[in-house]
Amino acid sequence: MRGMIFNIQRFCVQDGPGIRTTVFFKGCPLRCAWCHNPESHRQPAEILFSEEKCVLCGACAAMCPKGLHRMDGGGHAFDRAGCDGCGRCAGACPAGALELCGRWIGVDEALSLALRDADFYSASGGGLTLSGGEPMAQPEFALALAKSAHEAGVHVCLETCGFCAQEDLERMLPCVDLFLFDFKLADAEAHRRWTGADNARILKNLAFLGEQGGRIVLRCPIIPGVNLEKAHFEAVARAASSNRGVLQIDLEPYHPLGIDKAQRLGRRPGFCDTAFLDREALEPQAQRLRALTGLPVTIV
| 56 binds ligand SF4, rule: CB under 6 A | yes
* Among the listed residues 87, 132, 253, 258, the single contact to ligand SF4 using CB under 6 A: 87
Q: Pick from 28, 59, 220, 277: which binds ligand SF4 (CB under 6 A)?
A: 59
Q: Is 89 in the site for ligand SF4 (CB under 6 A)?
A: yes
Closest CA to 141 of 115, 103, 197: 103
Cβ distance to ligand SF4 smaller for residue 61 or 114: 61
Contact 133, 171 (CB under 8 A): no
Shortest distance, position 69 Cβ to ligand SF4, whole Å: 6
The Cβ-side half-sphere exposure at 178, using a 13 Å CA radius, reads: 23
Kindly state the number of chain residues that form the binding site for ligand SF4, as judged by CB under 6 A: 26
List 63, 186, 292, 295, residue binding ligand SF4 (CB under 6 A)? 63
Q: Which of 83, 88, 6 is nearest to 41 (CA)?
A: 6
Nearer to ligand SF4 (CB atom), residue 87 or residue 221: 87
Which residues make Cβ contacts (< 8 Å) with residue 33, sequence separation at least 6? 194, 195, 226, 270, 271
Rule CB under 6 A: say whether 92 interacts with ligand SF4: yes
Contact status: 64 vs ligand SF4 (CB under 6 A): yes
Cα 129 to Cα 15, 26, 138, 169, 197, distances in angstroms:
7, 14, 15, 15, 24
The answer to whether the CB of 85 falls within 8 A of the CB of 102 is yes
Candidates 10, 31, 66, 244: give the one binding ligand SF4 (CB under 6 A). Answer: 66
* Residues of this chain that bind ligand SF4 (CB under 6 A): 47, 54-60, 63-64, 66, 68-69, 76, 83-89, 92-93, 95, 97-98
